[in-house]
Amino acid sequence: MLNLTEHDFWALDISKKIYLAWALDAEIHLNAKGHGDTIKEGNVTSEQKNEKTMIFLRRHLHDDLKNEYLTLKYPQSFWNSLKERCKHKKTIILPKSRYEWTHLRLQDFKFVTSYNSVVFRITSQLKLCGEKVTEEYMLEKIFSTFHASNVLLQQQYREKGFKKYSDLISCLLVT
């Protein structure tokens, strides 16, 4: 049974700034509770399951946003309506994330941990927008943004043959 007193994740506010993360959280929680099928196209779920899903989704909306979707009773129609309304978020976030990725340079950070944090924030946004972010992509970003005075160091790291971003970051953190 769904717990009606606690939020499992942040409520979606009227500005819908966090829509992409909210939608991912909502979908994960619905799947974990066995209700993921209620927001899928062509589902044939019971009224009770639909109602529990609507309670869960509405519980994770800001009151002002909740009022805007007051007349929707079925999770799939609610989900599609909200998705349609917020689809522009990808068109805003994706170019901004690509721009940040393009201008991200290891040399601009005092600490590797700070760089790593920004890398994961940007790559998460890219992934939420449907971009494919590979280990090679992330590794090449580090190698290509070493300071010009560290070309020899860059070559040494390349020659080590790192296959995982986390391995390279761990090595950089140690040094």
Asked if residue 4 has pLDDT above 80, the reply is no
Domain spans of the chain, in order of start: 19-86, 88-174
Signed CA dihedral, 61, 65, 66, 70: sign only: negative
pLDDT at 7 (0 to 100)? 63
User: Residue 87 is encoded by which pair of tokens?
Assistant: 């689809």
Q: What is the mean pLDDT of residues 44-71?
A: 90
pLDDT of 132-168, one tens digit each? 999 999 999 998 888 777 788 888 888 999 999 999 9
pLDDT at 64 (0 to 100)? 84
DSSP of 88-108: HHHHHHHHHHHHHHHT--GGG
Query: What is the C-alpha separation between 30 and 137, in angstroms, rounded?
Result: 32
Query: What is the C-alpha separation between 77 and 67, in angstroms, rounded?
Result: 15
Asked if residue 5 has pLDDT above 60, the reply is no
Distances (CA, A) of 104 to 99, 164, 172: 9, 19, 17
pLDDT at 18 (0 to 100)? 80
Dmax of the chain from CA atoms? 66
Main-chain phi, psi angles of 41, to 5 degrees:
-60, 140
Q: What is the mean pLDDT of residues 94-111?
A: 92
pLDDT at 1 (0 to 100)? 41
Q: What angle do CA 91, 122, 169 make, to 5 degrees?
A: 160
User: Residue 146 is encoded by which pair of tokens?
Assistant: 């070493």
Per the prediction, the chain carries an average pLDDT of: 87
